[in-house]
């Protein structure tokens, strides 16, 4: 990708009705919201989607619905490795690919146990590659059930096969990010950083874009950063937005994704705060913090003249 063509890929929420059923009407509105903000792709069936609390059938049906809703306007990717043997994971990867996604994402923490070595992990990934034909894959350093970070050397082994085109990085270390970007040079591969404290540094280092939970609050801000991070005359504004993302990091992790759904309610989306997973108590203090975040977002959005997605 050219320097000016960085992309934001939201980690999608799953709207639920009050009774816990999937709210497809809310999902349709959410897809439109992301696209209106300028997202260059969508990451369906991820941790923000509460993927571990969806059934096998729901994971597939939600992803297929999203693919159909975007109508080819942007690529969709989705997680495809859950419990079971490598063979059973490979079968689900195939089923997920049949929904129409561009690539199926390998959850690194579901390939090997925490105590198992990188050698074991690597062997299983290559088994998965062998069992899934030509299906494009990616990696997601998901923090659940534990966070398994890939080294640059290990990532290079997989990228050099030509099958791995995507990596969602959560290592929180800009030097490791730079190393991973470097081993992907010359391949059809993009690293998308989740850690907004060094978002600008990551983009300048060659990341293909950003994929962060902050995009479930104000996706247009993340899109603006991807579009303008490199422009000399806008560096004061770029640094102001970077500082905002850094300062607001902690508040956006309290009882997430409840707070993201509440924030989007305030923005006008017809969405409940119902979850299937346990996220903790949405206390009055947390609510006040999110209300304050919303006010600060409005001020920054207006100051930077960024068009709201809704």
- Tens digits of residue pLDDT in 202-212: 999 999 999 99
Distances (CA, A) of 73 to 38, 154, 223: 11, 33, 16
What per-residue confidence (pLDDT) applies to 310? 87
The string over 34-70, giving b where at least 16 C-beta atoms fall within 10 Å of a residue's C-beta and e elsewhere, is bbebbbbbbbbbbbbbbbbebeeebbbebbbbbbebb
Residue ranges in the chain modelled with pLDDT below 50? 1-4
Q: What is the pLDDT of residue 4?
A: 42
Indicate the pairing of strand 103-107 with strand 76-79. parallel
Please give the Cα distance from 253 to 234 (Å, whole number): 29
**Per-residue pLDDT tens digits for 64-120:** 999 999 999 999 999 999 999 999 999 999 999 999 999 999 999 999 999 999 999
Please answer whether residues 302 and 294 qualify as being in contact, where contact means their C-beta atoms are separated by less than 8 angstroms: no
CATH class of 7-303: alpha beta
- The pLDDT of residue 5 is 66
pTM, 2 dp:
0.96
């Amino acid at each position: 990708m050219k320097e000016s063509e960085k992309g934001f890929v939201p980690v999608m929420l799953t709207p639920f009705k009050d009774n816990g059923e999937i709210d497809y009407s809310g999902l349709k509105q959410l897809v439109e919201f992301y696209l209106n903000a300028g997202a260059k792709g969508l990451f369906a069936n991820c941790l923000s989607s509460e993927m571990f609390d969806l059934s096998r059938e729901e994971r597939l049906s939600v992803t297929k619905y999203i693919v159909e809703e975007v109508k080819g306007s942007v690529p969709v990717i989705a997680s495809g490795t859950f419990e079971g043997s490598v063979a059973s994971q490979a079968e689900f990867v195939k089923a997920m690919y049949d929904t129409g996604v561009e690539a199926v994402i390998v959850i690194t923490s579901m390939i090997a146990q925490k105590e198992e070595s990188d050698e074991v992990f690597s062997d299983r990934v290559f088994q998965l590659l062998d069992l899934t034909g030509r299906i494009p894959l990616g990696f997601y350093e998901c923090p659940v059930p534990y966070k398994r970070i890939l080294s640059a050397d290990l990532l290079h082994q997989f990228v050099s096969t030509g099958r791995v085109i995507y990596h969602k990085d959560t290592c929180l270390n800009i030097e490791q990010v730079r190393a991973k970007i470097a081993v992907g040079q010359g391949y059809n591969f993009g690293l998308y950083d989740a850690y907004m404290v060094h978002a600008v540094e990551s983009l300048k280092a060659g990341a293909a874009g950003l994929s962060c939970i902050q995009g479930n609050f104000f996706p247009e801000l993340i899109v603006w950063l991807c579009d303008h991070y490199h422009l000399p005359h806008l560096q004061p504004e770029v640094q102001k937005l970077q500082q905002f993302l850094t300062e607001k990091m902690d508040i956006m992790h309290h009882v997430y994704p409840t707070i993201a759904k509440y924030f989007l309610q305030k923005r006008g989306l017809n969405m409940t705060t119902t979850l299937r997973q346990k996220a903790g108590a949405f206390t009055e203090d947390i609510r006040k913090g999110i209300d304050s975040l919303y006010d600060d977002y409005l001020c920054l959005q207006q100051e930077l003249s960024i068009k709201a997605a809704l």
